[in-house]
Amino acid sequence: MKKSLKNFKKEYLDLLLNFHWRQWKTLGVSSSIAGYESRLIDPEALLISTCTIGRYEPRLFDEMIDWLDKNGRFINIQRLKTVAGKAPFAGRDILAPISSIMAKRGSRAKWKRLSRRTPKVKSPEPLFYKKDGKPMTSFGTPDPDFKEYGYQRGRIELRGRSGSPGMSHPANLALKLRSLLGVSARCEILLYLLTHESGHPSLIARETYFGQRTIHDTLNDMICSGLIQVRSSGRQKHYWLVKERWASLLADDKTFPEWVTWPLFFSALERVWLKMNGQEFLDLDALLQASELRRLMGIVKPDIEQAGFSRNITDPTSVVGEEYTPVFMDDITALLGQ
C-alpha cells in the first residue's frame, strides 16, 4: 500500500523534531533522545530553524530558551541577524521576543539590538501548534514578552536543566573556539579552514555568513601570526593552514568534524515542511501533488547539495507523474537519517 502524503507529513515532522533535538542535546540541552550530532553544529542556524520547527514541540522551544539563558554568550548576534536575513526562515520574527527575554536576564546588552530592530507582529496568533496543525489555545497566564510581539503562549518558566556544551565533542568545535578566542569572525574563519583544504575570502564569506570585507581584512590580520598561510591563484588569494598543528590542540581524536552549511540545509527543510503543512497542497489530487513536489525539489535541491548533502537526492526531472511522490518521501527520509 502506498504511503499517503498526509501520513508522511506526520513522519516528516517527527524526523525534523528529532533532528533538532539531537543537535540541541549535543550542545547541552537536557534530552532523552538517542544519539548525538557528529557534524559541526552551527548554533545560529539551529536557533533560527528552531524558531519555526519548535512551534510544534513546546518543550523543545523552551529548552532552547533555557540553553540560551545559560550559554547565550556564545551566540554571535550579528551573524544571527545575517543568517535570518539571507535565508527565507519563517520564524525570524520570533527572534524578537526571545531576544527581549534574554536582554532582561543578567548582562545581555547584545540582545537588545535584535529585539529593538525586529518589527513587532500586529495580529495576535498562537505561538504553538499541535502536530495536526491546529493551534494550541490553552496556555494559562500569557507570557508578557511574547504577548508584546503578538504571540500567545503561557509564561516561560526556565528550569535551568541545560548544561554547558561539551567542549570535547567534535560537533561543538564552534563553541570551543568562541570560548577560547571570543565571538568573532576569526572563529568562523578558523572553522572553515580547519574543515577545508583552503579558501578564498569571497567563498569563506558566503559559507560563514560574514561580509566579504570583514573576512578579507580579518584574514590579512591573521596571516601576520604565521599560522595562516596564503598563496595566489590567478587574481585570487587562497588561505590555508597546517591542520595537524591545530588538531593536537583542538581535537581529541586528531580529526575535525564535517562542515555543513546549515543555514542552506535548514532553510530547505523548512520550505519542504511549509509545503507539506499546507492544507491546499494536501487537498490536491495525486498528480498535482507530485508536480508541486517536483517543482519544490527543483528549487531546494541545489541548496541541499551546496550545504554538503549531495547523496540520496534524486533528480526530480528524472521521475515522471505520480511516481515521483514516493521517491520524494524516500529522499527526504534518507536526508534526515544521515
HEC sequence for the chain: CCCCHHHHHHHHHHHHHHHHHHHHHHHCCCCCCCCCCCCCCCHHHHHHHHHHHHHHCHHHHHHHHHHHHHHHHHCCHHHHHHHHHHCCCCCHHHHHHHHHHHHHCCCCHHHHHHHHHCCCCCCCEECCECCCCCECCCCCCECHHHHHCCEECECCCCCCCCCCCCCCCHHHHHHHHHHHHCCCHHHHHHHHHHCCCCECHHHHHHHHCCCHHHHHHHHHHHHHHCCCEEEEECCEEEEECCHHHHHHHHCCCCCCCCCCCHHHHHHHHHHHHHHHCCHHHHCCCHHHHHHHHHHHHHHHHHHHHHHCCCCCCCCHHHCCHHHHHHHHHHHHHHHHHC
pLDDT band at 1 (very low <50, low <70, confident <90, very high): very low
Please state the rounded mean pLDDT for residues 118-137: 81
Q: Is the pLDDT of residue 25 over 50?
A: yes
Number of folded domains in the chain? 2
Answer yes or no: is 202 within a domain: no
Q: Is residue 180 in a domain?
A: no
Question: Model confidence over 250-259: pLDDT tens digits?
Answer: 987 778 999 9
Among candidate residues 107, 132, 152, the one where a domain is terminated: 152
Give a yes or no: residue 161 inside a domain: no
Residue 184 forms part of a structural domain: no
Which of 189, 47, 46, 57 minimizes the C-alpha distance to 131? 57
What is the spatial distance between Cα 303 and Cα 309, in angstroms, rounded to a whole number?
Answer: 9
In a domain, 103, yes or no: yes
The reply to whether 307 falls in a domain is yes
> What's the mean pLDDT when you consider all of the chain?
91
Last residue of a domain, one of 124, 152, 180: 152
Summarised one tens digit per residue, pLDDT across range 153-170 is: 999 988 888 889 999 999
* Calpha distance 80→61 (Å, rounded): 17
- Look at residue 122 and tell me whether its pLDDT is greater than 70: no
Q: In this structure, is residue 162 part of a structural domain? A: no
User: Which of 130, 152, 174 is where one domain is finished?
Assistant: 152
Rounded to a whole number, what is the distance in angstroms from the first to the last CA of the chain? Answer: 26
Query: What are 238's three cell numbers?
Result: 587562497
pLDDT confidence band for 120 (50 / 70 / 90): low
Give the pLDDT confidence of 192-242 residue by residue, as tens digits.
999 999 999 999 999 999 999 999 999 999 999 999 999 987 788 999 999
Pick the more confident residue, 219 or 117: 219
Taking phi first (over 0 means left), then psi (-120 to 50 degrees means alpha), and beta for anything else, what does residue 63 get?
Answer: alpha
Report which of residues 332 and 137 the model is more confident about. Answer: 332
Q: Poorest-confidence range of 107-121, 176-190, 208-222?
A: 107-121
Residue range of the domain that includes 319 = 284-337
For residue 300, what are the CA distances in angstroms to 121, 232, 330? 28, 34, 16
Q: How confident is the model at residue 114 (pLDDT cuts 50, 70, 90)?
A: confident
**Predicted confidence band at 290 (pLDDT cuts at 50, 70, 90)?**
very high
Q: Is residue 328 one of the residues assigned to a domain?
A: yes
